[in-house]
Amino acid sequence: GNSVTQMEGPVTLSEEAFLTINCTYTATGYPSLFWYVQYPGEGLQLLLKATKADDKGSNKGFEATYRKETTSFHLEKGSVQVSDSAVYFCALSDNTNAGKSTFGDGTTLTVKP
Amino acid sequence: NAGVTQTPKFQVLKTGQSMTLQCAQDMNHNSMYWYRQDPGMGLRLIYYSASEGTTDKGEVPNGYNVSRLNKREFSLRLESAAPSQTSVYFCASSEKLAGGPETQYFGPGTRLLVL
């Protein structure tokens, strides 16, 4: 079956530091890949997505590149802010099964001023 | 456009009590989902509905039932609550635009405590 593995957290960074959150996946076929973000007390919301190999998703300064050869979709940001403190979820959709997505366990990011 | 709404926001139950969590979406999406979120375990799919009139079990369906009342509404029922069902419950809906991936939209969650 499909699975998503994220780097374990929590991650604590100082403001303006570089962020990487690793994500690798196992799936049949050609899945779409996503990063969702969950701010405290809220539901998840889409951060960025990519649909095929070598696609780069980007939003709010975050980027992730779909790497089929390493089955990875690592999230990066060059300079984090306190407002980026949240839980980040990597996910995939295999585009076949009623739109079901498989989520990683989430990585908690705390950015300190 | 409210997106995905859930009621109630917070609920305390005693073991053995029943309740229904309500979810509605106004985006005309076909697919809807119920997840539970527990510390260190990410999101686990309870049930989903690919279209009005259909429902299917997800990863952790035991102890729950669902109803897809119409295209907008998808409810989750706990018939006899247990402390193991203490969790945060999220409803989601999804759409697949032409040529694009299926993207999920989440409600704000219901925090349930079973004593």
Residue B78 confidence (pLDDT) above 90: yes
Shortest Cα–Cα distance, B81 to chain A (Å): 23
Answer whether residue A110 shows pLDDT above 80. yes
Residue B99 is predicted with a pLDDT of 65
More confident site: A79 or B101: A79
State how far the Cα of A101 lies from the Cα of A47, in Å rounded to an integer.
15
How much is the average pLDDT of A78-87? 96
pLDDT over 80 (residue B111): yes
CB atoms within 10 A of CB A108: 14
Put simply, the answer to whether B108 touches A43 (Cβ < 8 Å) is yes
**Mean pLDDT of the A91-106 span:** 82
| Mean pLDDT of the region B75-102 | 89
**Per-residue DSSP letter, B84:** G
- Residues of chain B contacting residue A32, judged by C-beta atoms under 8 Å apart: 101-102
Of the pLDDT bands very low, low, confident and very high (cuts 50, 70, 90), residue B109 is very high
Q: Among A36, A51, A106, select the one facing B100 at the smallest CB separation.
A: A51
Look at residues B106, B114, B83, B84 and name the one whose alpha carbon lies nearest to residue B35.
Answer: B106
What Cα–Cα distance (Å) separates residue B98 from each residue in B57, B95, B101, B103? 27, 10, 8, 12
Q: What is the pLDDT of residue A29?
A: 80
SS3 A84: helix
